Every structure is written in structure tokens, then in C-alpha cells.
Amino acid sequence: MSMRLEGKTALVTGATSNIGRAIAEAFATEGAHVVVSGRSAERGKAVVDGIRARGGRADFVRADLDGSAAASRALAQETTQILGGRIDILVNNAGIYPNSTTATTDEKTFDQVYAVNVKAPFFLTAAVAPAMVAAGGGAIINLGSWIARLGIPVGSLYSSTKGAVETLTRAWAAEFGPRGVRVNAISPGVVQTPATGEVHPAEIMMKGTPAGRMGTPDAIANAAVYLASEETSFVHGIVLDVDGGRTTTAVIAA
């Protein structure tokens, strides 16, 4: 076992399922003490129990990151106490995807999606990054999306929020990087875990790519470990595409 994050502490938001869960599990496998955060205590317990059963260190903190500064500050404070006074790694993963088009999106939905996807990580970073600076450094990883840069005819609201997150990544790298906090982002492609034998409707979106298939949460988790580790001590302000080549390369679809 490489233990690339041994002795580190980490907070992963939206960590009770899918990509967030995979990141939390990967961090724990690499030696980090991880706080798993999400809205469901039941799912959070399942993630924590699984990590502990494999010999890792993890705790659950319930949080409804509704975009309010208070909710983000409360999560940062409770996590800091559980992790012994510091957060070395923050992963801003929590987000929501509205199932509506531009013309059918109402104002309440618009505000909610921006609150969860943009305001919540903004104020969580505002609460955590200065403490990282005071402690001598840290790493922040944001989750963007391939549709922030490749337009598709659905998901305009979601893609705009992820575009904002990727812009914040570069701004925060400039703001906090000189003081020891590395800020980078991951832009996942189509990532799902279909049931055995199931053909997921999103599979079609990966036709014409080098990978030719959907990705798995583990692929994103591996990238997160890389960005969190000292291997990337000279990496600041990037958006790492982990999308099977969706945004950069076109091949002839079979």
C-alpha cells in the first residue's frame, strides 16, 4: 500500500454516494483521516463503516449545504474539531443536477442549483482556506464537468454552475496558492455505475470518444488522490479532464 496521504486529514462533501464516496474511500485507503459529509446519515454511516472495516479512518458529519454561509461555516467548524484541529484537503464535490431545460426552469430551481453548486463551495472554501494558510498549507479540489466547456442541448443551468466552479478554481489558485494552498479541479466525463447487464441512457454520449464508454467513480477518485498528494506540489489552477477524451478528441464512432 502506497499510503500517499498518510497523516493527512480530508473533508469530502457529497461523499455518501457515487464520485464523492469513491473519493472518500480512496483517500482513506491512501492513509488519510476522512470526514464523509452529506445529507443522509444512513448512507453516510454505510460509507464510514465500510472504510473502517477495511482499516481506514473516517467519520460522518451531516450537512445540508444549502448555499448559506452559516451552513458552510458549521461544516468546516465541526470537521476541524473531529480531525484534530486542521483540514489538509478539501474536496468540493456536493452538487445537484436539475432535470429541466432552460425554458422549463423556474426561478426557485435556478436559485437552488446556484446555491448548492456555487455558493456552498464558495463559502466552505472561504471558511477552510484561511485556516489551511495558517496551518502551513493544504489542497483544495473542486469538481467541475465536461459540459462546462462542451455545449450540449440539455443541462444549461448545471453546466453554467460548473463553469463558475472552474473559474473559481483559477481565481482561488491565484489567491491562495502563494500562501501554500494548492487549488485545482477535476472535470469528470459521463460517470455512472450501471447495474450488471444494464445499458445506461448516457452511454450514447461517449460514442466517438477514445474511451468509447462511460467512466467509473474510481477513475475520478484516482485523479483526486493525485491532486491531493505531494506529487502535484507544482500543480496550481488546472482543470484536469477525466472524461475519456470527450472534450478534446473525436474519433469515428462505430
> Residue 138: in which H helix or E strand, if any?
strand 138-143
C-alpha cell at 146: 465536461
Q: Please give the single-letter amino acid code of residue 208.
A: G
pLDDT in tens, the chain (254 residues): 569 999 999 999 999 999 999 999 999 999 999 999 999 999 999 999 999 999 999 999 999 999 999 999 999 999 999 999 999 999 999 999 998 899 999 999 999 999 999 999 999 999 999 999 999 999 999 999 999 999 988 899 999 999 999 999 999 999 999 999 999 999 999 997 756 666 676 788 888 899 888 999 999 999 999 999 999 999 999 999 999 999 999 887 65
Looking at CATH, the fold of the domain delimited by 9-242 is given as Rossmann fold (3.40.50)
The SS3 assignment for 115 reads helix
> Residue 35: in which H helix or E strand, if any?
strand 33-38
Which residues are designated catalytic? 158
- Return the closest-CA partner of residue 229 out of 168, 106, 96, 139: 139
- Return the closest-CA partner of residue 60 out of 19, 92, 14: 14
Q: Is the pTM of this model over 0.85?
A: yes
Question: What is the C-alpha to C-alpha distance for residues 5 and 7, in angstroms, rounded to an integer?
Answer: 6
Q: Domain map of the chain by residue range?
A: 9-242
C-alpha cell at 76: 468546516
- Whether the CB-CB separation of 132 and 88 falls below 8 Å is answered with yes
Question: What is the C-alpha to C-alpha distance for residues 61 and 144, in angstroms, rounded to an integer?
Answer: 23
- Whether the CB-CB separation of 14 and 95 falls below 8 Å is answered with yes
